[in-house]
Amino acid sequence: MEGHYIALGINVLTLFLLKLCALQAEGQKQPIASALYVFGDSTIDPGNNNFLATIVKADFLPYGRDFPNGQPTGRFTNGRLITDQLSELAGLPDLLPASLDPEFRGQKLLTGASFGSSASGYADSTSITLNVLPLEKQVENFRLYKAQLVKQFGHETANRTVSQALFAISGGTDDFANNYFINPLTRKKYTIEQFQDLLLNSLSKFIQNVYNEGATKIGIVGLPPFGCLPSQISLHNIVENTCVEEFNEVASSFNSKIKALIEKIRPNFPGVLIAYLDIYDKLFEIIKSPTKYGFEETRKGCCGTGLLETAILCNPSSIICHDPSKYVFWDSFHPTTECYQIIANDVFKQTLAYINSPTQRN
């Protein structure tokens, strides 16, 4: 009988050790990159605009109501952004900090940040109107960050961190939705094709600039079907109450031009991965087949009427839907964190496919 209890004790101990090893292995997930650096607009801005003199902010409730501790951070959604979720999927911290946040210092410098600014775009005119950070200023802030990285950790660590990091840019929606299609001066100056080329020229300069700073893995996020955003339907197609097909066609054609640009310039960056990351197809599928993904509402956001509210129009006095997880959009312009999670999973799969493909580098 004593031997039976000893054997039982050994089995229990063995199971405990196996479980402990499994938990340790799970907790020590190997990151696929040293850091994540992102640039662009409100889809990736975790609060940089909090530190700017602009009305384009989300540092108040109900933004962030489903964030840890229910704290608004400046993220234009109810919880985490797609970049927070991508960072976690990549084996990095599950919250990507804002580069302008005073708390972004010390060891946090080593795993990346967002340099993006809500309402920013590829065109300077898109950003200047609302006093947010244009793309060139975002890159300048990255250079300042890199200098700080060198100062604190030395050239070798800084160069290794940057060279092994993932860089990503997500922009363009504000250029069209909040500039070209509402500003008669912009439309008078450019045809839609000329404006697209202007944005592509800015994107090309961005790629060159981050390459000069040591980037070796660069992801270019395409445009979403912005004609299906609740605000765009309300402003431009309220009678039919359906997606603005013209806008979606512009997004599709611009995405095709991004892919063509990447193929054209790739030989200029030997050994560098430049990848196109699609979000159009997944978001369009979610909007057209919401129940497949557990959603019920696609026409309006969770905040207020959901038809036009964003930024200060979505505020502590706004009526909020009962269950944001059933909504594709949080406000009239930005997805819920639940929708972002689905898109993040899809983008991460694309990223892994590019990284693991030996044919993607020259």
DSSP per-residue codes, 251-286: HHHHHHHHHHHHHHHGGGSTT-EEEEE--HHHHHHH
Q: For this structure, is 334 an active site residue? A: yes
Give the three-state DSSP class for 220.
strand
In a domain, 114, yes or no: yes
pLDDT per residue over 54-74, tens digit each? 999 999 999 999 998 999 999
Q: SS3 string of 101-112?
A: CCCCCHHHHHHE
pLDDT number for residue 357: 80
Residue 360 has pLDDT above 90, yes or no: no
CATH number at residue 72: 3.40.50.1110
- Write phi, then psi, for 112 (nearest 5 degrees): 110, 175
Q: For this structure, is 331 an active site residue? A: yes
Residue 362 has pLDDT above 60, yes or no: no
The widest CA-to-CA distance across the chain, in whole angstroms, is 93
Residue with tokens 């650096």: 37
Catalytic residue among 84, 87, 334, 346: 334
In the chain, the amino acid numbered 49 is: N
Mean pLDDT of 190-212: 98
In a domain, 17, yes or no: no
In a domain, 28, yes or no: no
pLDDT per residue over 142-152, tens digit each? 999 999 999 99
Catalytic residue among 42, 114, 127, 170: 42
In a domain, 49, yes or no: yes
Catalytic residue among 45, 175, 278, 331: 331
In a domain, 206, yes or no: yes
pLDDT per residue over 264-296, tens digit each? 999 999 999 999 999 999 999 999 999 999 999
**Domain extent for 309:** 36-360
In a domain, 272, yes or no: yes
Domain count across the chain: 1
In a domain, 3, yes or no: no
pLDDT per residue over 3-55, tens digit each? 444 343 434 333 333 333 333 334 446 899 999 999 999 999 999 999 999 99
How does DSSP classify residue 242?
A: S
In a domain, 316, yes or no: yes
